[in-house]
Structure 1
Amino acid sequence: MFIRNESFESFIKSYKVITSLVAIHIFFYIWIYWFPFLGGAEIRYLGIGNNIMISMGEYWRLVTPIFLHGGLMHMAFNSFSLVLFGPALESLLGWKRFLAAYLATGILANIAYYFLGNPLVSHLGASGAVFGLFGIYVYMVVFRKDLINRMNSQLIMTIVVLGVIMTFINPGINILAHLFGLISGAVLAPLILANVRFHHHQTHVHAPGDIGFDPNRWAKRANRKQRYLIYSIAGFIGMILFFYLVSTFLL
């Protein structure tokens, strides 16, 4: 479910929203930090979240921070999280519903910061929307077990717990955006997952090397318990390394 083994071309073809979002992240990072003299500085100024400016009518700042980041590691980590955890949901929900969920949770996280956050502190980043995806998964683990199996449930809950812990440990993290992104995803999940059934996606035929939203795909192969253990350990170690990088380099 969270193991990426498709080719680059196959990934782009299968997950158009995620590919587009990551491309936007990279595009604005390069523009803002490599070419500030060609309008990048102005883009950052106009797009960053700022409660004072929002109160003066610049409501686009509730949306634009979702696509901007505070540096290379910030952008890379959010993009990596999106590539790792987004495909299963985009496949399950379809691109329109997935994009709506992503934007809605990110915007709600920024609205929460507008009402509860420090008006003197600006903010930017896709973390609120990424945590919104986690919130949807948490709802699936608790209430929609037909959409996710036990192994993946344990993995996603471990990642969520680690993410929340690191939110409070790392300096410079927008705690409110992370928490309310997570909450928004869980609250919106009943609407987002309405009429979604796993069997709708079981008949999709994938090319060799592709991966689809099939929680039981490894159960169809030999030595599935050993495979589960290996992938779980690898995924856990990978996330620990990325959280370490974030705690070390993320501003």
Structure 2
Amino acid sequence: MDPKDQPGGPGGGPGGEPTGPGGPEAAAPACYRHPDRETGIRCIRCKRPICPECMVSASVGFQCPDCVRQGGGPVPAPAGAPGGASGAARVPRPWQRGGGGPGPAPRGDSRPRTLAGGVVQGDPRLITKVLIALNLAVFVLVKAAPDSARLLDDLVMVARFPSYPQPIGVAEGEWYRLLTATFLHEEVWHIGLNMLSLWMLGGPIEALLGRARFLTLYLLAGVGGSVASFLFADPLGASLGASGAIFGLFGATGVLVLRVRADFRPFVALLVINLIITFGWSGIAWQAHIGGLVVGTLLAAGLVYAPRRHRALVQWGTCALVLVALVVCVLARTAALT
């Protein structure tokens, strides 16, 4: 049962506090082990709120450390159900407000929500898995193509290359390259490292943001990396790879670590290592890395720090503003190159 629908006084809230559309807005629940950290994720078994530090991946969703230690036993009945498989009545939990009896029907959408307001899904890594599969499929298809080199030339990010029978590049109107380049890789080690990073970073971020917000952040960060290459790299040089999107996930991870007040030091160490590789290894398009990092950080801040009352407006408005800014940058650079 949703806490706001527990009985306890007239109007549905303790002491008569109204919980309907006109009442005060409920605060996000705090992790049961870290009361100073707000979270939108709950243990799939006991339903207690858990922060990223306390999440333990399960076959479906996440469990808290206590349930993992105890192991076994049936999963509690869904909120509001008269009982579980045994028919026993649901016992009120100490973190729930009000009593444990049946209350009024939930108002509006009462589905569990993530920290950013997305719907909690059964598979919190679905989009991450789809993105990895898509990158791998593109890699295999390009390698297997009869004219692989020509196909890469048609899809990589290049600003303006005039030596073809006709000029090619983003400045010549081929804007699709800003996105297609983010799904291309030339070497096995390149796609291997990027997909490993996507798996490690993507799952936790997807669980905290929700599918739609995570996918939007990933794609815009990837495009942001391509736009940065278009702006600052050699116009004749080509760039490709998911690294811009991956660095966008690094930026988002930093914002989320701050948001849930977790230890920031491991993130800083990992980011510094990746930045050293970015600037110390020749042949890496550092512009794409920095562009993705900046875009991912800005988007994550807009997604997780949006006020609850106007959350959707602020979140999608932030995404729209970032997209408009990227378009303006492309137009300005195109004017300078043509």
Same fold judged by TM-score > 0.5? yes
C-alpha distance in 2, partners of 1:193/1:103?
Answer: 18
- Letter matched to residue 270 of structure 2: I
Which of 27, 38, 53 does residue 137 from structure 2 map onto? Answer: 27
- 1:44 is matched with which residue? 152
1:9-68 deviation digits (Å, cap 9, x = unpaired): 9899431111011101111111112x121x644542222111111100000001111111
Equivalent residues in 2 for 1:118-157 (5 A)? Answer: 118-142=234-258, 144=259, 147-150=260-263, 153-157=264-268
Equivalent residues in 2 for 1:60-139 (5 A)? Answer: 60-139=176-255
DSSP 3-state at the match of 2:216: helix
DSSP 3-state at the match of 2:279: helix
- Letter matched to residue 72 of structure 1: V
| C-alpha contact (below 8 Å) 2:201/2:253 kept by paired residues | no
Identity level (%): 30
Any stretches of 5+ residues in structure 1 without a counterpart?
Answer: 198-251
**Aligned-pair distance for 1:190?**
2.1
C-alpha distance in 2, partners of 1:83/1:72?
Answer: 16
1:166-187 deviation digits (Å, cap 9, x = unpaired): 1011111111111121112222
- 1:157 to 1:3, Cα distance in 2 relative to 1, 3 A: farther
| C-alpha contact (below 8 Å) 2:183/2:241 kept by paired residues | yes
- 1:23 to 1:156, Cα distance in 2 relative to 1, 3 A: same
- 1:172 to 1:96, Cα distance in 2 relative to 1, 3 A: same
- 1:180 is matched with which residue? 291
- 1:4 to 1:63, Cα distance in 2 relative to 1, 3 A: farther
- Letter matched to residue 304 of structure 2: L
DSSP 3-state at the match of 1:119: coil
| C-alpha contact (below 8 Å) 1:28/1:68 kept by paired residues | yes
C-alpha distance in 1, partners of 2:138/2:54?
Answer: 27
Which of 147, 151, 173 does residue 57 from structure 1 map onto? Answer: 173
C-alpha distance in 2, partners of 1:139/1:14?
Answer: 19
State the TM-score, normalizing by the size of structure 2.
0.51
- 1:4 to 1:189, Cα distance in 2 relative to 1, 3 A: closer
Any stretches of 5+ residues in structure 2 without a counterpart?
Answer: 1-51, 63-121, 161-168, 309-338
DSSP 3-state at the match of 1:14: coil
**Aligned-pair distance for 1:158?**
0.9
| C-alpha contact (below 8 Å) 1:2/1:88 kept by paired residues | no
| C-alpha contact (below 8 Å) 1:65/1:123 kept by paired residues | yes
Q: Which has the larger radius of gyration?
A: 2
| C-alpha contact (below 8 Å) 1:67/1:126 kept by paired residues | yes
Bigger shift: residues 184-193 or 61-70: 184-193
| C-alpha contact (below 8 Å) 1:4/1:84 kept by paired residues | no
- 1:54 to 1:4, Cα distance in 2 relative to 1, 3 A: farther
C-alpha distance in 2, partners of 1:73/1:178?
Answer: 17
C-alpha distance in 1, partners of 2:154/2:177?
Answer: 8
Count of equivalent residues: 190
DSSP 3-state at the match of 1:79: helix
- Letter matched to residue 149 of structure 1: A
Bigger shift: residues 69-78 or 6-15: 6-15
